Chains A and B, each alone.
Chain A
Amino acid sequence: MHDPVDEQALIQRAIDDPDAFQELYTRYVRRVYSYVASRIGHRQDAEDVVSEVFLRVIKNLDQLRQRQQTSFAAWLFVIARHAIADHYRKNGHSEEYISLDVAELCAPAEKQPDHLLSHNEESAYLYSLILTLPERKREIITLRFYGGLRNQEIAKVLGIGEKTVSAYLSRAVNDLQEKCHAAQSARGQIRDE
């Protein structure tokens, strides 16, 4: 997490200095990509949306300067949410769609390879579990663990209370952990059989 004072100074410089803007971009691009890609299952579309997000940042960064109480991260992810919504409106999708590789990973446990999941496979499996969460929980989980936002920032992005965010987050993480354990147990039982 970056020093807020340092970040404010960077934002001020980034309004007119391309090198400062690049530093700001470097700090956040991967987080934005992870969040956007988790909401848009198609890689090319996710790249297009991420590009649009940062173009909007370039256009509007000096407007942020006037809003001294606003966290840059919260502001950035509000832009990201809007860009995702615009993407769905333009492309006529009413629901998010999951790319084929993730759908394959959602296969039942008995169809998984009969050995312990490697780190990458475990990550992919967790990712697929996140996609099965209800909308609100999924949004909060991805903003927190992919976007790297604090609860207060998530609250600002979603326009809800911070306590609500905490409650949702706690339940969502518990849900995921239980599903993971259930899947591991099922795998263990299948192996035993």
Chain B
Amino acid sequence: MTNLVLFLVLAVVAVVTALGMLLSRNAVYAALFLVLNFATVAVFYILLEAPFIAMTQVTVYAGAIMVLFLFVIMLLGAERLPGTEPLPWQRPLAIFLALVLAVEAGYLLFARRAAGGMFASAAPDFGSPQAIGTMLFNRYLLPFEVTSVLLLVAMVGAIVLTKKEKGGRE
């Protein structure tokens, strides 16, 4: 029962912060709403007995990624841009398409019963950092190493893309 109340309150917070991100005119407010949303999702991860993923969520998403976002927003001074005139049919069409997607998801969930079932009580070390680490370094060692190469490529790419060109054009 407490779990259900906790879930409902957090779900409302998550949806409201997502809508706040969608609707706020100022990009800094949008980023801060998104930080709150990520923090809420981290609490969901703890409820789902994934403490390691929850901590990763806070450090990587709410920490690193959103700080990068805020840094770029403030670097560009892009927090309050004059909006261009929207295409006349863009807004209704976007809302219609999103509604179609929502109805489709609702149909699959509730009419077809595509996903169901209750959670059984989990093993005591389920989702612990130790269990995740053992799995990561045994069964998923190759993807893990590929990830490190990916991060290196992304780092080099970001530096090359933002480097000031020296000497004239190009």
Bound pair (A, B):
no
A residues contacting B by CB (< 8 A) are none
B residues contacting A by CB (< 8 A) are none
